[in-house]
Structure 1
């Protein structure tokens, strides 16, 4: 029996600016890489040189059959100094959008994917009450220039990730899917060095990954609200949302209360932020199981990914169902992926994940698309280049792209809508 996706279902892949563009020297992450004692395994450098090769890359995505490309606009490039906007940078992203149109890819744009301008740290970073207006001003410039080319926008990628990071680093020491190692949270000495490189002190150095207490979450919520207001003012037709990283929270006997508390912490407390949004960006990689003593390790013999979490593509369906039960918004799967050198397992991960999506669709849950993380093997933050999430491999000496079978498989699904026999 063939499983079909709806004709208007959007299938594509994702990148993040800092991880693929290269030489993002104005970003706070660049400072973290070069700080004394930095835990980053590699320097990002040219990464995969996507800032130069984007047209060839977009043409390749289209050739494979993909129908959508999600990428991020880099605030540190657009506004290299407070209130000073770069015409060359906005022209670059305009051409990325035009290339998507030329090759028939639906663009999905994230206005913020973890990285921020270094100068923001001098104002107190994401702990400053000035941030919502500064972020809204940046969004106003972007949308006044290129908003008419953007059908879908995420103001922020994974608003809940800082809370997940705090929990993982302080309680169980698990590395989360985004590739941020525990040292990135717990080593104040190198953070002081990173702060100095940004022209400030450690107490004012509040990166996006540190938005994990009530006051900072409130600042983030206000930044999202103001950004959405600006976007709708300038281009009412753009669909606006944000994304969350959501593991499938499960329990064994005695762990029900802990699991419920985690789901509230990771998802429920952020629901007020979605009021007024057009869609919800859902991102899933694995599951978390809780017992009476806390999180339960994967069973002996369970398949683990390079990130050392459980290979469990069925989590996607379960998270969609849980989120749909609390939302009245369309759900867009804006990330789903696996770090592995065995590409056959990536094909399996995609197939089983999409089988879960079709099950949700059959039950009337409104899921509008599936975007795979990630298009290319790239820079995975403090994990450097050691993790392989990509549909396409990259030789970083030559920047040659090599298409994997997973890319061909997802391209066939995107082109035909047929999932499996």
Structure 2
């Protein structure tokens, strides 16, 4: 397969070629949220502290310039709730101005802006009140979004209310590898899942009140799922296409994906984030990857074609335009990264040819960064970051993706 000559083909008007980051993973020093506490809690399973991360709180101009230099045209980043509202009801004008300066600078560079209002981190003061399991979170989040939008909305081109709400709830209350670290707490999982949906809907209405006029949606982790009723990874299995409460994955499938695809029907788009194909048994438990099968640094199967299948599923169920708000691979081998993107983008084109209305693609991630419980080892970035000097070094994949973007405009 010749990755150097890969062409994605023409893209529709308004399409966004971009790359993405998250505040806690790159800014450094976000000491006021639940993740900082989780990183410093013995036994949480987190490998290391986010610490200074990539020092992007100070180096954001350099990061914007890297997006532009790669030939990309949009930057998706998150604003850190705990910086903006460090204590309940107390809002920092300085933090809001920091993010406004970023938005203005991005536009001055010719970049479009995609802002995420919640990317995995919740203020410490709210976590102490029960976090997403407490119904009060719906009003608190809507208030935060409303105040942030009043300050920033006129400079936003795309808004993502919540990033992967299904990961926050499942990893926090079922797996226990995210805050609050309560494995097997199914009541917490159910409550937080319903509150996530309600918070998205309340935030959507706050954003629609203005200022600004931009598409609004949430982003969803939507793996391509194959169900093996017999519990054997060797059996053919059945690809899951029904995520309703009566579907093959039942309540779990509904709370982790189906309900979000349903509420997205009232959104302007659905953000899809797919990295691999997962294989599960009848109880919904992940089946282990067989020895010798190709995996990424995350331990995930190397299955780039999962993206196109998830996009088709989301397009069919939600019935709104799809934006790939994240896609990428954790690897130290940049040639492997280019192979992954070649194959995932080819599958995306096939989904579009099959009728999916897709409006953009954001590579995860701009920078090698803090990958939550996995620490700094997984390398998702188009740009390497020195852990001591914070020097940025673009990888060949950055320029490669820029060439793919440029060619799509000429097609």
Checking the alignment, whether the CA contact within 8 Å between 1:132 and 1:220 is kept in structure 2 is: yes
Per mean C-alpha deviation after superposition, the further-off stretch among 374-383 and 28-37 is 28-37
Check the 8 A contact 2:155/2:212 in 1, yes or no.
no
Pair 1:339-2:345 in alignment = no
Q: Which runs of 5+ in 2 are unaligned?
A: 1-5, 231-236, 242-247
Cα gap change, 1:387 to 1:257, in 2 (>3 Å): closer
2-side partners of 1:37 and 1:268: how far apart? 33
Cα deviation per residue 1:333-354 (whole Å; 9 max; x = unaligned)? 0011111111111101111111
Answering whether residue 262 of structure 2 is matched by residue 272 of structure 1, we say yes
Bigger drift between 359-368 and 107-116 goes to 359-368
* Among 187, 193, 201, the residue aligned to 1:217: 193
Instruction: Label 1:111 to 1:390 Cα distance change in 2 as closer, same or farther (>3 A).
Output: same
Matches within 5 A, 1:196-235: 213-235=189-211
Answer yes or no: is the 8 Å Cα contact 2:145–2:206 preserved in 1. Answer: yes
Q: What corresponds to 1:160 in structure 2? A: 166
TM-score norm. by structure 1 comes to: 0.85
Once the two structures are overlaid, the 10-residue window that deviates more, 370-379 or 250-259, is 250-259
Q: Is the 8 A contact 1:69 1:106 kept in 2?
A: yes
Map of 1:129 onto structure 2? 135
| Number of the residue aligned with 1:4 | 9
1:378 aligns with 2:354: no
> Is 1:74–2:80 an aligned residue pair?
yes
Structure 2 distance, partners of 1:371, 1:383, is 22
Deviations 1:299-355 (A, max 9, x none): 442211111110000000111111112121100100111111111111011111111
| Whole-angstrom distance in 2 between the partners of 1:69 and 1:267 | 26
| Aligned residue number for residue 234 of structure 2 | none
Q: Which residue of 1 aligns with 2:155?
A: 149
1:237-316 to 2 correspondence within 5 Å? 237-251=213-227, 255-256=237-238, 260-261=248-249, 263-290=253-280, 295-316=286-307
Contact 1:10 1:414 in 2 (8 A): no
The root-mean-square deviation of aligned C-alpha atoms, in Å, is 2.7
Change (3 A) 1:153 1:359: same
- Residue 194 of structure 1: aligned partner: none
Contact 1:2–1:419, Cα closer than 8 Å, also in 2: no
Residue matched to 2:92: 86
TM-score using structure 2 length: 0.87
Quick one: distance in 2 between partners of 1:358 and 1:11?
14
Equivalent position to 1:24, from 21, 30, 34: 30
Do the aligned partners of residues 292 and 122 (structure 1) sit closer, same or farther apart at CA in structure 2, a change above 3 Å counting? closer
**2: distance between equivalents of 1:291 and 1:215?**
25
Instruction: Tell me by how many angstroms 1:40 deviates.
Output: 2.1
Matched, 1:326 2:317: yes
CA distance in 2, matches of 1:258, 1:281: 19
Distance (Å, rounded) in 2 between the aligned partners of 1:147 and 1:43: 32
Question: Within 5 A, what are the aligned runs for 1:151-190?
Answer: 151-162=157-168, 164-165=170-171, 169=175, 180=177, 184-186=181-183
